[in-house]
Structure formats: C-alpha cells, structure tokens
Amino acid sequence: MDILYRVEGLQQIYQNRTVLDVPELDIYRGEILAVVGPSGAGKSTLLRLLAFLESPARGQILFENYPFTPLTAEMPLSLRRRVTMVFQRPVLLHDSVRANVMYGLRLRGERDHHSRVEQALREVGMDRMAHVRARTLSGGEIQRTALARAIVLQPEVLLLDEPTANLDPYNVRLIEDLIQRLNRQYGMTLVIVTHNVFQARRLAHRTALLLDGKLIEVRDTHTFFESPGDARTRAFIHGEWVC
Amino acid sequence: MDAQAGEIVLLSLRVSGVALFFSSLLGIPAGVLLGLNRFPGKRLAVILIYTGMGFPPVVIGLLVYFLLSQRSPLAGLPFLPDLFTPEAMILAQIILAFPLVAGFTMTAIQAVDPALRLQVMALGATRAQAALSILREARNGVIAAIVAGFGGIISEVGAVMMVGGNIAGRTRVLTTAIVLETRQGNFEAALSLSLILLGMAFVVNALLFILQDRWQND
Ligand SMILES: Nc1ncnc2c1ncn2[C@@H]1O[C@H](COP(=O)(O)OP(=O)(O)OP(=O)(O)O)[C@@H](O)[C@H]1O
Ligand SMILES: [Mg+2]
C-alpha cells in the first residue's frame, strides 16, 4: 500500500512535558485510521501535527517524502491545503452558515462554488439552515457546519477530532455514513480521533491506541479489537482504566 | 460670520478626518500585530500605547511644536510641515489618535476566540488571510476603536491651539474658535459653534454606527 504519511521519532513537548512520543507510524493513502485513547493522551496534538499546524519538538513527519521537522517554519501552502482538519471544539466565523462553508473556497480564490457549497450543506443535513447566523447554532449544528466547511474543500486528507461528540444517534449515523462515502467515493484518507471504541470499530480500517502520549498499538481494526497484542489495549477496549 | 463658520467647520472636518485616516491606517495594523503576536518588547509597546491613550493633548501639542520649531533637531527635514499650518495640526492629531485606535484594536483582536486562528489555518488560510479573518471577526471593536480615535481629536483644543495658532482663515477650527469667542464674551457665537461641533460628532458617529450595524448583520 501507498504510504502517505511517515511519522519518525515524533515528539511534542509543551512546557517541558513530553505529551506525544510516536517512534513510528505510517498512514496509508486512502485508509481510515482511528486513533483512540483516554483524555489527555495526545490525540488532538497528533492531529495538529499531521495538519502541519505546529512544528514538532523532535523527529519528523514525511508527507509524500516532503519533511516536516522542528526546523520547518511553515509547510508550502500547496501541501498544507491538501490536508484539512476539523477541531474538537470548532469555532465558526460570525457569519451565516453558508458563508462559513464558503470560507475555505474563498481563501483559494475559487468562484462558482454554489453547487459544491449546497452539496456540502446537504451532506451534513444543514441545507435548511444555510441562512442562519452561526452564533445562534446548537453544539451539534456547529459541529456539522464545521464538517461541511472542511469537506467542501474536497481535501485529500481529512483529520477529524471527535466529529460526532455532540451529536444525537440519528446525526451520528449521518456523519458516519458520510465519512465512509468520502473514503469510498473519493479515496479520501481519514484520520479520526474518537473516545468511542465502537465508532472506531464501525468505521476504521486500522485503529491505533495512544496512552499518555505513547503509541501502544496500531493494527487492522478487526485484530485490534478481537486479539489485541497489548494488555493495555484489551483493558482500554473493555472500558477499564488504563494508564 | 456664516461664511467664516463654514470655513471653520470644513477645516475641522479636514484636519480631524485626515488625521483619523492616517492614524487608522497605522493604528489598525499595529493593533492587529500586538493582538496576535508575542515578541520581545511587546509589553513596553503596550504600556506606551496605554499611556498615549490618556495623553493630554497640550503635551502632544508642545511636543509637536518643539519638533517643528527652529530649534528642533529635525528642523529642515523636507517632509515636516511648518508650524501654524493645517498640516501641523494634522500631525499632532495623528499622534493623539494613533494610540487610541491601536489600543482599542488590540483589545478587540484579543477578544476573538484564540482557537479561531489555527482553525482558519487548517482550512488553508495563509498567515495574512488568517489575520484578515480575525480582523473581520473583530470588526465591531475596530469600529469602536475608530470612534474613540475620532472622539479624541475632534473635541481636543490643546494641540491644535498650540501648533495651529488659531489663525483666522488659516488654522482656526471649531474648538479653538469656541475658546476665542468665549474669551471675547461672544457667548452666542460660541454656543452655536458648540452646537455645530456636537452635531458633527453626532453625524460622524451615526455613520460609523450604521457601518457597524450593517456588518454585524452580515
Ligand atoms: N498548548 C498547550 N500547552 C500546554 N499543554 C498542552 C497544550 N495543548 C495540550 N496540552 C497538554 O497535552 C496533553 C495532550 O493533550 P491533547 O489535547 O492532545 O489530548 P487528547 O488526547 O486530545 O485529549 P481529549 O480526549 O481530552 O481531547 C494534555 O495533557 C494537555 O494538557
Ligand atoms: Mg483532544
């Protein structure tokens, strides 16, 4: 399989504390990789690094052999724009839902995006709220709008941080179906961070466990859940406290 | 008197308008820079700006007076205006309004959710695009900054008196005219000029408010 990201000796350090330490991890083009782990394990930090939003303290990320290292001031815009991330706590612009979805296209100077915007709104079930002002939205509506403004860009890589954390079961299903469709139809590579091991099991080709900043295990999802190689993985998927 | 009053009103608008334009041109980017970045010397810059926000206009007037006088170390530089001209008054008012615009812009920028910057970067914004998006989010506060800058200079008398000299037909503006008329006991004239000044402030602020309101409803 085609390796898109190659993570080597990656460490992130905040205020003298190593919060992420991943000696190696490959992410394949076209896969759905789930990252699970308890709160504070470093999942969001890993996503920010994969989105090239902050430089690592040590090690590097190779994106199609292009290195992202502690010395990289900024990744080239053309590379950075192939990756889009939806944050755990999305912040929308004080504007309409539609304007928020158009935002990334406008940044790229694209016109004639009407049908793409409408489609993205439909996919997340926000088409009837296109005119609503973002500041009046509920938590779940904010989350879905944030997803729409990311998928409208049709990125090669979509990094999702707890994409269904605020959603009701109907909308969880809507978004999970959408994630699978993006992956199957467009071959989009997705990295999904979730607390929810069942969601990882439903969606991901491979699943990784992060504990206290360390990558404990990454395997194809079936093996990860049926016969994990590490006792801590077994404990985590059975809902036990692990540390 | 009427033609004179008209002249005075126009000069007031011109001096404060041009000064406001340039202090916004400099103050808004300065406020964005201070609101978004950390750099060595930032604390000092912020303290200086806060101090400037409350600076007495006469002191700035004195400073500019000295700067433009014969004894100034900068005397003779080609781009410096002469004393007792509208340009000298504009220079003094730029210095007065700049810290107001920069300081209030900075706080408006800081009030925008700090998480937004990274999120727009994640959507493909360049650094400059991200700064512009944050400025747009802070638009209400930025207009308030301009309002504060305008309020600080349209009503001040100390600086324009000092560097303008209140010369009839050349550097007399509303505030200095009011002082003069009052001193000469012409209370009616002083009062009508005051009403014009108030009316002007009202109209300008109404325009800025309408702008703010329209943006808000985007
Ligand atoms: N900017 C920062 N400065 C200092 N520490 C930070 C910063 N961001 C994150 N951390 C710390 O790094 C660790 C990892 O945080 P991260 O947000 O990646 O965890 P997470 O796995 O996403 O957790 P959660 O499931 O709760 O979202 C935490 O201990 C957190 O307190
Ligand atoms: Mg997180």
Cβ contacts (< 8 Å) between B115 and chain A: which residues? 87, 89, 91
User: Which atom of ligand 1 lies nearest, measured to the CA of A15?
Assistant: 4
CA angle, residues B46, B59, B150, in degrees to nearest 5 = 65
Q: How confident is the model at residue B11 (pLDDT cuts 50, 70, 90)?
A: very high
Please tell me which of the candidates A96, A99, A104 has its beta carbon nearest to residue B123.
Answer: A104
- Residue A14 CB–ligand 1 contact under 6 Å: yes
| Closest Cα in chain A, distance from residue B213 (Å) | 13
Give residue B128's pLDDT.
Answer: 95
Predicted pLDDT of residue A243:
57
CB of A98 less than 8 A from some CB of B? no
The pLDDT-based confidence of B146 (bands split at 50, 70, 90) is very high
Contact B129 A107 (CB under 8 A): yes
Q: Does residue B70 surpass a pLDDT of 80?
A: yes
Q: A90 in contact with B at a CB cutoff of 8 Å?
A: yes
Cβ–Cβ below 8 Å for A93 and B115: no
The residue-averaged pLDDT of B187-208 equals 94
pLDDT digits (tens, 9 = 90+) for A162-191: 999 989 999 999 999 999 999 999 999 999
ipTM: 0.94
Q: Is the CB of A41 under 6 A from ligand 1?
A: yes
> How far lies B129's CA from each of A82, B120, B126, in Å?
17, 9, 5
Banded model confidence at residue B33, pLDDT cuts 50, 70, 90: very high
Percentage of chain B beyond pLDDT 90 is 88
| Cα dihedral A234, A236, A240, A241 in deg (nearest 10) | 130
* Ligand 1 site, residue A39, Cβ cutoff 6 A: yes
Q: What are phi and psi of A34, to 5 degrees?
A: -100, 140
Give the number of the atom of ligand 1 that is nearest the alpha carbon of residue A43: 21
Q: Is the minimum distance from the CB of A88 to ligand 1 under 6 angstroms?
A: yes
- Asked if residue B44 has pLDDT above 70, the reply is yes
Candidate from A87, A103, A150 with C-beta closest to B115: A87
pLDDT tens-digit profile of B114-137?
999 999 999 999 999 999 999 999
What is residue B15's three-state secondary structure?
Answer: helix
pLDDT of residue A179: 97
Residue of B nearest to A73 (CA): B127
Give the ligand with the smallest distance to the CA of A50: 1
Residue B127 is part of a domain; what is its CATH number?
A: 1.10.3720.10
Its domain, for residue B138, covers: 2-216
Interface contact A91, partner B, CB < 8 A: yes
Neighbouring residues of B162: CB distance < 8 A, sequence distance ≥ 6: B58, B61, B62, B64, B65, B92
Count of domains observed in chain B: 1
pLDDT category at B1 given cuts 50, 70, 90 is low
pLDDT at B4: 86
Which residues of chain A fall short of a pLDDT of 70?
241-243
Q: Assess A149–B contact: CB distance below 8 Å, yes or no.
A: yes
Asked if residue B216 has pLDDT above 90, the reply is: no
**Cβ-based burial of B207 (10 A; exposed 0-12, middle 13-18, buried ≥19):** exposed
The full set of domain ranges for chain A reads 90-154
Q: What confidence tier does B175 reach under pLDDT thresholds 50, 70, 90? A: very high
